[in-house]
Amino acid sequence: MTRPLVRRNRLARGARPLKIVVTGPFAAGKTSLIQTISEVAVVGTERVISDETRSRKETTTVAMDFGRVSLSNGLSLLLFGTPGQRRFEVMWEVLSDGMIGFVLLVNGADERSAAEAARQLAQFREYADVPFVVGVTHLDEPGMDAERTLASVRDRLDVGPETEVVPCDPRSREDVKDVMLRILFGVLRRLEPVAATP
């Protein structure tokens, strides 16, 4: 669909807030991550699940989660969580518009999650060439070998060593800060290729 493009005077419209998208398969922890770091209650669009995936999760995001992180220096970051179920993927491109980077969450305790994440990763790379971090969740479940799971996820995603695949407990503020910083440093590296490491 086409639509008119209306260019406005920048002074008239102000600067665009920057956003990071949180994506990943169903039940990877996207909503939890946003809830952990956002200082506003998440504008969630969860609905009760009515299909066979209900056995894994009672509700799912059908449009998006929205959170905001206000920083002490007056800036703010917006976080958008995508719907996890494939049938709602029409929202992915909408939410990825204008993102400066994205977090791809993978449920390390669910083998199907990495396979689905690989498909999502390919899709998001088509939307925009921006830094991303892979956060592996559910590593604290009994019997999990974190290192082996991280390596397995990396293999399933078929990403190179330049891609950061890190443990991420979406309920941990420090873990969430860590993935956000990794993305921001990734952006900084793009802007000044010889500098910027976390």
- Stretch 131-170: interaction string toward another protein, x if CB under 8 A: x---------------------------------------
> Helix (H, G, I), strand (E, B), or coil: what is residue 98?
coil
Scan residues 25-64 and list those touching another protein (CB under 8 A): 37, 40-48, 50-51, 62-64
Of residues 142, 162, 192, 197, which one binds another protein by CB under 8 A?
192
Q: Are 134 and 152 in contact (CB under 8 A)?
A: no
Of residues 55, 58, 71, 143, which one binds another protein by CB under 8 A?
71
Q: Between residues 51 and 162, which has the closer beta carbon with respect to another protein?
A: 51
Locus of tokens 């209900």: 54
Report the C-alpha gap between 43 and 67 in whole angstroms: 7
Query: Two tokens at 84?
Result: 């996890």
Whole-Å CA distances, 114 to 53, 62, 75, 119? 16, 20, 34, 9
- Stretch 84-123: interaction string toward another protein, x if CB under 8 A: ---xxxxxxxxx-xx-xx----------------------
Of residues 121, 136, 168, 184, which one binds another protein by CB under 8 A?
184
Query: In the complex, what is the shortest distance from the CB of residue 21 to another protein, in angstroms, rounded to a whole number?
Result: 11
Q: Between residues 2 and 160, which has the closer beta carbon with respect to another protein?
A: 2
Q: Using CA atoms in the order 10, 100, 19, 7, what is the torsion angle rounded to 10 degrees?
A: 20
Query: Two tokens at 93?
Result: 């491109």
Locus of tokens 């917006």: 78
177 binds another protein (CB under 8 A): yes
Residues across the chain: 198
**Which among 2-10, 26-34, 147-155, 161-169 is the span making contact with another protein, rule CB under 8 A?**
2-10
